[in-house]
Amino acid sequence: MTSGSYGESAGDAHLAYAAAAHYRLVSTGTGPPLLQLHGLGGTCDQLARYSTSLEVGSLLAPDLRAHGETMLVGGPDAFHFNGLADDVVALLDRLKYPRTAVVGVSMGAGVAANLALRYPERVSALLLIRPAWTDEPSPVHLSALSHAGDLLQRMGRVVGARVFADSPDYRHVLGASAAAAVSLLEQFRDPKAAQRAVRLVQMPLSNPFKRLADLGALDVPATVVAAPADPLHPVEVAEAWAAHIPGAGWFQTASRDGDPAAYHRDLTASVERFVASLVPAGGPQRG
């Protein structure tokens, strides 16, 4: 793995990501290819706990820009859904990875939807888990992420975490979901969190698509997964995605707070059902 800086052009930036990206690539023989995309602040291993028994030919899970072991950051203009999707395409090109089914969680669901809308030839099916973005910039339910990013930039990890834990944004999330509150504090625990704070500041300003109605152009099998009582990933957002995607499947897990074990079982089952539905030649396709 190498590191780099934001290039002179958008194309340079995506090629730099493809060269610098850390990723997990597992080849298991026969079966469809699968791409897994993590959430904001996550890593390539985020979905691994729900994917231990998948029968796929290959599984690619990258650390997106400024996440996990991908050290490349770049400037603020690198952090939007078009840019992250273009990063992924550059990596797919570098690895000569085939048309693939995509599982994305939270921000990764937004990248997956953007990828399928702008590069339909690369995507065969979608599993969109707990989407958090719509066509509204800076949604209120993501304000805590923006606040965390701002504190990291101005105060660093230690002081920033202390101030954030005493903020109304954090207390509001904690009152609704301890699991969501833990995920917010984890944004401060990465030793490189301050250097990567731009991702928290910029991504809430971006949108995976211009209008929710754009999801109507998706022409691949898709399932949307929601979890109740999650203030960072409102069920209403997942419902809006499912309502606009033609023929989309719908699944709601148990609450992450109310029954963590059931949530794990439900999400694992949704991933397994999705993979089982794929055609061995590379995923279901609509003619």
- Is residue 38, in this structure, part of any structural domain at all? yes
- CA nearest neighbour of 80 among 256, 222, 198, 232: 198
Q: Are residues 168 and 269 in the same domain?
A: no
* Residue 6: pLDDT over 60: no
| pLDDT tens per residue, range 56-74 | 889 999 999 999 999 999 9
Question: How far, in Å, are 5, 38, 59, 119, 272 from residue 90 at the CA level?
Answer: 16, 17, 17, 12, 28
Torsion angle of C-alpha atoms 49, 131, 102, 46, degrees rounded to 10:
-20
Mean residue pLDDT across the chain: 92
- Is residue 224, in this structure, part of any structural domain at all? yes
Q: Are residues 187 and 261 in the same domain?
A: no
Task: Please give the distance of CA 103 from its chain centroid, rounded to a whole number.
Answer: 9
Q: Provide the number of structural domains found in the chain.
A: 2
Domain span at residue 159 reads 138-205
pLDDT band at 279 (very low <50, low <70, confident <90, very high): low
Q: Are residues 164 and 107 in the same domain?
A: no
pLDDT band at 149 (very low <50, low <70, confident <90, very high): very high
Q: What is the share, in percent, of the chain residues with pLDDT greater than 90?
A: 86
DSSP label at residue 138: S
Q: Report, in angstroms and rounded to the nearest whole number, the Rg of the chain calculated over CA atoms.
A: 18
- Please check whether residue 139 is in contact with residue 204, taking contact to mean a CB–CB distance below 8 angstroms: yes
Q: Are residues 100 and 217 in the same domain?
A: yes
- Is residue 73, in this structure, part of any structural domain at all? yes
Here the CATH number for the domain that contains residue 37 is 3.40.50.1820
